[in-house]
Structure 1
């Protein structure tokens, strides 16, 4: 059994070697994303593993089907870069990865604290030996209300982490969970917007959630609200964020992901001419903390993502369960 893995980072190679030996498969490792132009690299492979920069649209899936690829597995939880309808039509199983929610949940809480305590401008000052305090006064989380949008595994773990701070926690999810309700109060979105000092997003990217944070929804929030996004960039309208940071309606942003980030994420662009003005402009504000889509990035999560991919492909090929199967 042979698998072709694409977008393989150096930190994944050891995990791929260990998992391939453990389950008894051969894995060809490729650093570049999978495209129609290099689909021939999957020749002789029954399964393909990718990350989020490989856009598995209908044309690419068709090219893989012609090469007898039966399974595509993304080493990410999100799967909006896969055309699921095309995969189903072509008889290709689509799999996503799974990993413990703790890394992203802890990163989310870190972001909340960094923004509330004005860490970014404090860091800037410290680097030039300016140890003044003016403008750096923060807020204590215990005195605030935090709204959590989406209470799946990550959102629920964020809520669990926040309980130790003594803050009031509001939650929104179309499918409330009894265990989450022990620590948070489920409310509708309007109530969450109107009452939350901090709002953090943990929703999948769907047609119904695209730009769920927009000019209209921000207008319904408290003045000075802090927004955190460690989920999907397209959940937030980038232009709306910029305008409302400028207007001081938004008091701070913690962003591990931003829409239009595709050409930037996980690449060294220091010597390039960048055309993504929105991200370049947003990141210069002192109350905006941005990182390079790395909330997931822990040793445990990386190994789990590789393991899910290799295990999932082998399991499907062995059982013949040829259908779309996502966790």
Structure 2
């Protein structure tokens, strides 16, 4: 939402006593077809939350046994790439998923897209993303994760990509906090306590 409505840029401008309404005219999520890459727990949770916006939601998952739940339409990857205007990444990191979203993957979208990654930084080839942002094919990106989140250890090439992303007005960055709340921390502890209790009972 911050990406489509220019919230971060607009906030910074108003704090500088600048008032630019027309320059910050945004897009409505409800008019966009959202494509979910991965339809496990996180993809399903996101699809459920999208229902309130009324936007069409497509999902692709490599597991053929994944079932739809009414919140998204499961489609082949090629159809998702052909139709999605917003791509949201929800695949876990694995060797098979390393840089799954790469130059060839992004090139398969026939039109401009917005990209959201709240999964893992390593599933997205950051060089390909930067190139697509520079060309305009990716209209903007919201990144909660990066290829290397230890910013003090970035290689020169990683640093160059990071410098581009943090300077780009159409990129929203956050430090891997998509699910990092006081409430989620409490729920994790409750689950762990429950598992320990079950172990002791066994």
TM range (shorter): 0.7 to 0.9
Query: In structure 2, what is the equivalent of residue 176 of structure 1?
Result: 66
Say which structure, 1 or 2, has more relative contact order (CA 8 Å, 6+ apart): 1
- Contact 1:196–1:222 at 8 Å: present in 2 too? no
1:165 Cα deviation from its structure 2 partner: 1.1
Distance 2:167 2:188 in 1: 33
Task: Mark the structure with the bigger radius of gyration.
Answer: 1
Structure 1 residue 202: Cα displacement: 1.2
Which runs of 5 or more structure 2 residues have no equivalent in the other structure? Answer: none
Alignment of 1:230 with 2:113, yes or no, is no
- Conserved 8 A contact 2:60-2:74: yes
Q: Find the counterpart in structure 2 of residue 122 from structure 1.
A: 10
Distance 2:153 2:77 in 1: 40
- CA contact under 8 A between 1:197 and 1:224: conserved in structure 2? yes
Asked if the contact 1:148/1:170 (under 8 Å) is kept, the reply is yes
Kindly state the Cα deviation for residue 282 of structure 1 after the two structures are TM-superposed. 1.2
TM superposition shift of 1:258: 1.1
Could you tell me how far apart the structure 1 residues matched to 2:104 and 2:136 are? 15
Quick one: which of 30, 46, 49 aligns to 1:161?
Answer: 49
The answer to whether structure 1 residue 286 and structure 2 residue 169 are counterparts is yes
Which of these residues, 75, 80, 83, is aligned with residue 187 of structure 1?
75
CA distance in 2, matches of 1:134, 1:273: 40
Does residue 103 of structure 2 align to residue 215 of structure 1? yes
1:257 aligns with 2:179: no
Contact 2:85 2:112 in 1 (8 A): yes
- Provide the rounded CA distance (Å) in 2 between the counterparts of 1:163 and 1:307: 28
Separation (CA, whole Å) in 2 of partners of 1:136 and 1:224: 19
Deviations 1:181-226, CA, capped at 9 Å, x for gaps: x232211111111211101111111222221111001111143311
Residue 250 of structure 1: how far off its partner (Å): 0.5
Please, which of 33, 37, 47 is the counterpart of residue 149 of structure 1? 37
Match of 1:246 among 109, 134, 157: 134
- Is the Cα contact below 8 Å between 2:44 and 2:71 reproduced in 1? no
| Change over 3 Å in CA distance of 1:241–1:318 after alignment to 2 | same
**Is the 1:224–1:252 contact (alpha carbons within 8 Å) kept by the matching residues of 2?**
no
CA distance in 1 between partners of 2:8 and 2:105 (Å): 26
Runs of 4 or more consecutive aligned structure 1 residues displaced over 4 Å after TM superposition? 272-276, 313-319
